[in-house]
Structure 1
Amino acid sequence: MNNKLSISYLLLFITPLIFSCREAVKDENENNVSASVLSLHVGDEKYLMINTEESVVTWKGSNLNGINTQTGYVYISKGELMIENRQLMGGAVEVDMNTIEDKNHGSDNKLVNHLKDADFFNVKKFPFSAISITRVTPVNGGNKKVTANLTIKGITHSVTFPIKIEVMDGTVKANAKLVIDRTKWDVRYKSAKFYDNLANQTMSDSIEFHIKIIAKNRIN
């Protein structure tokens, strides 16, 4: 695979993307607005296309006690960031769920096939996930707090997460960490919320995504 980098979903979604966190994470809001990739329009802002060869989402998941963890990758299919006065103002990312990989065994193995089936992400029916930024709040320096609409399995909720942005001439580097409660997106497999008597087979409801994005090339 290209650029198997450990990052700090988004993207996109992408994390990321079944993780070692032991507690379900609360989303600040819920919003059923579609999070498909934005069609960005005219103005004085710069719209930078995400370089899909250099960008990646790393996912991590675990059972409830955090002992058995799994890590892998999923890839961004397209996306754009909006930059104004060297500041992140918005953007959108689409993640191809068919590109899910396991860090140790690649894309063709029992684990990945299970992640693609209806127990998890039902990739045949929902081949893409997406995230669209709705608000960016400065924290300090290049550190921001992003609020965005995250869509997985056709379900959209609002999420808020930290992101670090580095803006250079013609290039933006972004690193983010996003942790979600998977059950809000109907990923219920071996969740203690929905299944009794799982004992040590119970999986954490938290999924963590580490998102690395490189965006380049002004769009006219």
Structure 2
Amino acid sequence: MSKIGLLALLLLGSGCVDKSNSEVQKAMIKEHQSIPEELEADTLKLDLNQSKLYWKGTKMRGNGSHEGEVSISQGYLLRDESGLSGGKFEIDMKSISITDIPETDPNPIKNLTEHLMGSDFFDVDNFPVSAFEITKIKTHSPENVEVSGNLTIRGITKNITFSANQKENSITARFLIDRFDWSIAYEGSWADRTLVDREIEFRVKLELK
């Protein structure tokens, strides 16, 4: 197999994470939901230097992996008398970076980044911005909440639900999505059907100023 083919398989591997990781909650997808009418709430801007979004993926059931970061370009959270109640953040897809390849190997980083940004994956030229808009926060305990929201990638919006940890000024979470639900990667190819795991892991930290 050529070097380009191997790189493509490695990239495709970035579409998922090992399901055995008990700390990761798979996001439950629901039909697209509209944002309910908001109660009176304060709008609190995110600290963009401290708010982070990381991705990780594997191929062949976790035998290979890549991971990296993508920048949150703007966002806010809503807080009412009961606590955090909503919010939205946008993601600069052109900021995708790979963190597991040493900087001393610039060519693999360049090739993998170009694949991620290409039309078969995130297609950043046509869809430079992704977004997540919270539709509901359900509190189970002072620190544990259930977040529902509309996730938009490649112009496709689906409502997902996942568990998160809440503190006074932040929300953190780890969850999985099925990349095919957002048309990410070579859908239908032999490599996708046999080698590449379907899921992408995201870790997100939203920090208020």
- The answer to whether structure 1 residue 203 and structure 2 residue 199 are counterparts is no
1:75-86 counterparts in 2 under 5 A? 75-85=71-81
| Counterpart contact for 1:173–1:215, Cα < 8 Å | yes
| Counterpart contact for 1:147–1:160, Cα < 8 Å | yes
Question: What corresponds to 1:28 in structure 2?
Answer: 29
Question: Structure 1: which 5+ residue stretches go unaligned?
Answer: 1-16, 36-40
**What is the CA distance between 1:19 and its match in structure 2?**
3.0
Cα pair distance change 1:161/1:97, threshold 3 Å: same
1:102-121 counterparts in 2 under 5 A? 102-105=98-101, 109-121=110-122
Distance 2:170 2:141 in 1: 16
Cα pair distance change 1:32/1:56, threshold 3 Å: same
> 1:152 is aligned with what amino acid?
I
TM-score of the superposition, structure 2-length normalised? 0.79
Secondary structure in 1 aligned to 2:113?
Answer: helix
1:98-137 counterparts in 2 under 5 A? 98-105=94-101, 109-137=110-138
TM-score of the superposition, structure 1-length normalised? 0.75
Cα pair distance change 1:32/1:203, threshold 3 Å: farther
**What is the CA distance between 1:45 and its match in structure 2?**
2.1
- The alignment covers a number of residue pairs equal to 185
**What is the CA distance between 1:185 and its match in structure 2?**
0.4
Question: What corresponds to 2:171 in structure 1?
Answer: 174
Question: What corresponds to 1:18 in structure 2?
Answer: 15
**What is the CA distance between 1:178 and its match in structure 2?**
2.3
**What is the CA distance between 1:175 and its match in structure 2?**
0.5
- Provide, for residues 90-134 of structure 1, a one-character-per-residue CA deviation record: whole Å limited to 9, x for no partner: 000100001100013469521111100012100011000000001
- The answer to whether structure 1 residue 59 and structure 2 residue 55 are counterparts is yes
Q: Kindly, what percent of the aligned residue pairs are identical?
A: 30
Secondary structure in 2 aligned to 1:109?
Answer: helix
Which has a greater percent of helix?
Answer: 2
| Counterpart contact for 2:88–2:134, Cα < 8 Å | yes
**What is the CA distance between 1:30 and its match in structure 2?**
2.2
| Counterpart contact for 1:30–1:156, Cα < 8 Å | no
Question: Structure 2: which 5+ residue stretches go unaligned?
Answer: 1-13, 21-25
Distance 1:145 1:32 in 2: 16
Distance 1:144 1:81 in 2: 14
Secondary structure in 1 aligned to 2:29?
Answer: coil
**What is the CA distance between 1:173 and its match in structure 2?**
1.6
Cα pair distance change 1:111/1:48, threshold 3 Å: same
Of 40, 46, 50, the residue aligned with 1:50 is 46
- Provide, for residues 14-57 of structure 1, a one-character-per-residue CA deviation record: whole Å limited to 9, x for no partner: xxx9331349x573312176x9xxxxx9x752211011111110
Distance 2:15 2:53 in 1: 12
**What is the CA distance between 1:79 and its match in structure 2?**
0.4
> 1:195 is aligned with what amino acid?
S
